[in-house]
Amino acid sequence: MSAARQIPSLARRGFLQATGGLVVSFALFGTSEAASSLLPIGHVQNPPDAAKLYAWLAVHPDNTATLYTGKVEVGTGAQTALAQIAAEELDFPVDRLDVVMGTTSQTVNQGPTYGSMTIRYAGPQIRAAAAAGRAALLEQAATHFATTADNINAKDGVFSVKNAAQKTITYGALVAGKQLDVTIGATGAGFAMKVAPQAKLKDPKNYTVVGRFVPRKDIPAKVTGAFTYVQDVKVPGMLHGRVVRPYGVNATLISVDESAVKSIPGFVQLVRRDNFLGVVCTSEWSAIKAAEALGAVLHPKGPAAYPAKWSDWNGLPAMDDIWNVVRAGAGKTTAVANTGSVDNAMGDAKRTLKATYQTPFQMHGSIGPSCAVADVSKDRAIFWSGTQMPHEDRHDIAKLLGMQPDQLEIRWFEASGAYGRNGLDHAVADAAIMSQAVGKPVRVQWMRWDEHGWEPKGPPIAQDLAAAIDDKGKVTAWTHHMWIPTFLDTTLVAAALIGHPNRVGSVGLGVPAITYAYDFDNADVTSHGDGRVALRTSWLRSPAQYETTFAMEAFIDEVAAATGEDPLAFRLNHLKDPRAIDVLQAAAKQYGWQPRAALGKAPADGKPAHGRGIAWANRDDSRVATIVDVIVDPASGRIRVTRVVVAQDCGLVINPDGIRNQVEGNVIQSISRTLHEEVMFDRANVTSRDWIGYPILRFDEVPDSIEVVIVNNDPKYPSYGAGEPSTCPTAAVISNAVFDATGARLRQLPFRPDRLKAALTQS
Amino acid sequence: MTQTMVINVNGQDQTIEAEPDSMLLYALRDNLGLHGPKFGCGLSQCGACTIIMNGVALHSCVTPLAAAQGQKITTLEGLSENGKPNPLQQAFIDEQAAQCGYCINGMIMTAQALIERKPHASRDDIKAALQGNLCRCGTHMRILRAVERVTTPQAQQGAGQ
């Protein structure tokens, strides 16, 4: 295991060693083109007043408009969908509506961007603000034409007087560059904020923009290189920082020999505060070399073999023991379902089934490691960040720096997709500390090993399930106990490393992430939530529910197989939720499902075997059912998912292609998590430090097809989330298909070839 | 001291003052302000930094700047003319083949090099070429379709139907 600490195939290292540190660079920017791309630093401002129309909308003289939202784009297309919602209510062309997101001086705090909650909660806020905006502009147009508002038409950004074809004015000309200083009202905060409560909303029957394909606003710039990610931000006078993290998770920094880096051309300063160590240089390359010289790559020679010497801390549990540690947590027990008497039913049963499911630490695995730019001076601090929670970070980072939130501004730029809280917030804290120390703007770019090693992980989860079957083959009892460490940890790595006296953020307890909807007479579904276990954790796409759905829906399949029933029919027979039934039936219809019990026979002659699986989930009111075909090769132990059918009901659809894109992404990412992903660690720290140590799915394993069926897209339902739900069923559906193909039950993620081969010998 | 080096990027000679042992990626991004190529791993494992040098797709994070002198380098920015996307970039727009988009530079540059070598590449050819490029959002199906819009235009499909 510890061998994984070594970063393999470091081609770059060869060049480093060959050339040494012989040269100096002072030139930050070689051309005027680069210099002109510097972003201005400017001043700090507080967020606007949510009760004012200008906090949400601006209309410009050229008849373009801007929507302001505290939500951010994380690659899911929410920016475009929110623009559709606003354009619809405003009767304004969506392609002329720009969206400014996240920046704390320009937007209202609508809560963090996570949990597939942007369209669901921010959508209605923006819808109401835009409707109030339209009403206010309509009044203005009525005054302009000396008539009444009900005598004015609004269409595509133009007001016209009814039955007077020549009397028209664009929104832009009407507003004439003025700020929309209209009070629309707002109460509450974040997700629960109510905006413009008096606004009259459009009847969904008349929607022309919502529910239609609108091309994503961000894609053209992303495919031509014109897009500015947070990783691309440069500000005047900016220096480059790199972090040097502890060798072991809680190791202490014994000493740093600065002479090891002083001679590196471009070296500016070491930043040491307790166990926080960073290096600041004039160029990226200098900073990379300096951090490496200090041992940032965690070379295999051990904690004290490099100029930054760490204590030999080995306090992590052994990897094999992690689920015992998880179970031993003294956390909070929550009853998800508790009906009848499970004990009596188990006692009376003719047969009982029991199974244990185990899932490991997994990581977000952003392709672009976290990055932030900070400019901290004595009385104010400005940050350029890709965080999913800029407004919350403003408060946390203020606390870190001992400043007030109104002295801080976070300017949001999109980052590489994070799928939860990765290292982005932590990079802000790192940049804050380094900029504060050197008194200049500092850009901190985490290296690959920093991101793999120190991004907060999705937690390991242990689950025990049991079922009782009576002499008529009826399932009489169901138990499901899950041990879930926290995934709500918002504490900052840097705050811990500098030994910050006040807690910054909170750790929380694991919460039950499951919707139990079966109708067994006796049921006990219980969650044991715990605090941090071993490694820092955070939200990772469908937090804990990907794991709990794996156990629940795979064990349902085990029970269906034990009773000899078709796995679809078994589910339908035990569900009353009409929307669950809708997605299961829609997926089955698209797939062409023929009723039969799972075969579950060992493949003859060790030849590749085909199987099918089905599973479903209710993730925060969205329903999703997935069916897959797999080919299992007993010789190699490899599983390939060949066909995927997903039926999803997330209520009223804003942009159908956005939903499809999200479902395809969830499916592929969760196939990757299911087949490949497990964070490796030794007693000191994470050892999965690159893409070889933490492999993810590549093109050779992409399914032949992913078919997406959208169900219950109807205004009678609100819009629920689409960014996560289709991750939930994937591990279960693959496990079920592997059983159908081979008779082997896979109950531990990931389904690596060695695990499949072991399971085949047991089946 | 820094060294003065000349590299030919997107058809223009560019004079750069930088450490000769540094990698091409940082010269493109920091000296020339070309943000198409991305830093992903610095280990030649993910493909986010891909550029085309003399017709070959290369990982600029492990290409020494010194080795790039006098070579013809194309970045993502160099594919479009006057801001107009080239056919492959347009195909990515038409297929809505991006989510966060951070990997897309590598996908387009790798596929562009393939298309220049093999204009009618098959799906298997495309998969093989892109095997070294990681996408975490799971946009693979759309990326394949986007490339196929150029290699097999008769099989076009559109987004948003």
pLDDT tens-digit readout, A610-666: 999 999 999 999 999 999 999 999 999 999 999 999 999 999 999 999 999 999 999
Mean pLDDT along residues A145-157: 97
> Is pLDDT at B156 greater than 80 in this prediction?
no
Place of tokens 């700090």: A44
Judge whether A508 is closer than 8 Å to chain B, CB to CB.
no
pLDDT tens-digit readout, A51-109: 999 999 999 999 999 999 999 999 999 999 999 999 999 999 999 999 999 999 999 99
Distance CA A387, CA A393 (A): 8
Q: Do B31 and A30 touch (CB under 8 A)?
A: yes
pLDDT tens-digit readout, B30-78: 999 999 999 999 999 999 999 999 999 999 999 999 999 999 999 999 9
pLDDT tens-digit readout, A547-578: 999 999 999 999 999 999 999 999 999 999 99
Cβ neighbours of B26 in A, within 8 Å: 283-285
First to last CA, chain B: 58
Helix (H, G, I), strand (E, B) or coil at B29: helix
Cβ neighbours of B76 in A, within 8 Å: 223-225
A-B CB pairs within 8 A amount to 261
Q: Which of B58, B90, B141, B147 to mutate to test the interface with A (most CBs of A within 10 A)?
A: B141
Q: Which of B41, B59, B77, B133 to mutate to test the interface with A (most CBs of A within 10 A)?
A: B41
Query: Which strands sit side by side in the sheet containing A97-101, from one edge to the other?
Result: A57-59, A65-69, A97-101
Q: Do A224 and B142 touch (CB under 8 A)?
A: no
Mean pLDDT along residues A1-6: 39
> Is pLDDT at A20 greater than 50 in this prediction?
no
Distance CA A649, CA A653 (A): 9
DSSP type of residue A201: P
Average pLDDT along chain A: 94
The complex's ipTM works out to 0.97
CA atoms within 13 A on the CB side of A280: 24
Q: Which of B3, B96, B104, B122 to mutate to test the interface with A (most CBs of A within 10 A)?
A: B96
Residue B54: how many other CB atoms lie within 10 Å: 9
- Give Cβ neighbours of residue A232 (< 8 Å, ≥ 6 apart): A413, B29, B35
Among A5-9, A11-15, A520-524, the range of highest mean pLDDT? A520-524
Alpha carbon distances (Å) from A414 to A232, A701, B133: 10, 29, 21
Q: Do B48 and A77 touch (CB under 8 A)?
A: no
What class has domain B3-79?
A: alpha beta
What class has domain B87-153?
A: mainly alpha
Distance CA A277, CA A755 (A): 40
> Is pLDDT at A35 greater than 80 in this prediction?
no
Amino acid at site A19: T
User: Residue A220 is encoded by which pair of tokens?
Assistant: 């053209």
pLDDT tens-digit readout, A632-645: 999 999 999 999 99
DSSP type of residue A744: P
Q: Which domains does chain A have, with CATH numbers?
A: 53-214 (3.30.365.10), 541-762 (3.30.365.10)
| Domain positions in chain B | 3-79, 87-153
Of the candidates A627, A645, A654, the one whose C-alpha atom is nearest the C-alpha of residue A721 is A654
Q: pLDDT at position A329, please? A: 86
**Cross-chain CB nearest to B138 (options A20, A226, A668):** A668
Cβ neighbours of B136 in A, within 8 Å: 364-367, 416-417, 419, 669, 696
- Give Cβ neighbours of residue A280 (< 8 Å, ≥ 6 apart): A239, A240, A241, A268, A269, A270, A271, A287, A434, A437, A438, A442
Q: pLDDT at position A128, please? A: 98
pLDDT tens-digit readout, A681-714: 999 999 999 999 999 999 999 999 999 999 999 9
Q: Which of B6, B24, B28, B35 to mutate to test the interface with A (most CBs of A within 10 A)?
A: B35
Burial of A556-581, coded b for 16+ CB within 10 Å and e otherwise, reads bbbbbbbbebbbbbbbeebbebebbb
Q: pLDDT at position A562, please? A: 96
Q: Do A30 and B14 touch (CB under 8 A)?
A: yes
**Cross-chain CB nearest to A666 (options B45, B102, B138):** B138
CA distance A35 to chain B (A): 8
Of the candidates A448, A535, A527, the one whose C-alpha atom is nearest the C-alpha of residue A487 is A535
Strand residue runs (E) in A435-487 = 442-445, 461-469, 475-484
Q: Report residue A605's pLDDT band, with 50, 70 and 90 as the boundaries.
A: confident
